[in-house]
Amino acid sequence: MDVKVYMSQDIQLIDDLVKRLQDHITKWDSDKVIEQAELIFDAFSKRFAIEDFLLLRLKTNRDMQDALVKFLKIRREFREKLETLLTLHVDEPDFHGQVIMLHQALLKHMAYLKAEFEPRFVDQVSAAQMATMASDLEQRALALSAS
């Protein structure tokens, strides 16, 4: 599997999870909302681990160092939005609003990843390294389709 395809499918799975929660949050009971929120947080944790995996294996030059600093700042800001949602209980009135804000932040983050992260970092991953990550994506896709 191509690295760009893998990373694109991975972030699309996360987007699908967030959209699904956003669309059903008022229809599902609290237990189902919590279950779906946990899937989202798990998916984000795995995504961040994958990004870290990629970054740790790259030999960076000066241009990449500047891009890395920018990426880490953007990701830190995004993680703060995710952590805000983590602090809320599903029955709080602001929980639904935070899910909507998280989805908007995710869309913005996805645009950044496509425009800057992929060209500077993802394109540098070898096929051998990619093979070690492909099974995780397939497992998460199966988990999403089963839920």
Task: Please state the domain count of the chain.
Answer: 1
Which residue do the tokens 């992260």 mark? 117
The pLDDT value given to residue 10: 85
Provide the pLDDT for residue 20. 93
Domain that holds residue 50: 3-146
User: At residue 124, does pLDDT exceed 80?
Assistant: no
pLDDT at 1 over 70: no
Cα-Cα end-to-end distance for the chain: 25
**What pLDDT score does 65 carry?**
82
Q: Six-digit token pair at 140?
A: 């998460």
Nearest Cα neighbor of 43 from 70, 9, 67 is 9
CATH number of the domain encompassing residue 22:
1.20.120
pLDDT, residue 16, reads 93
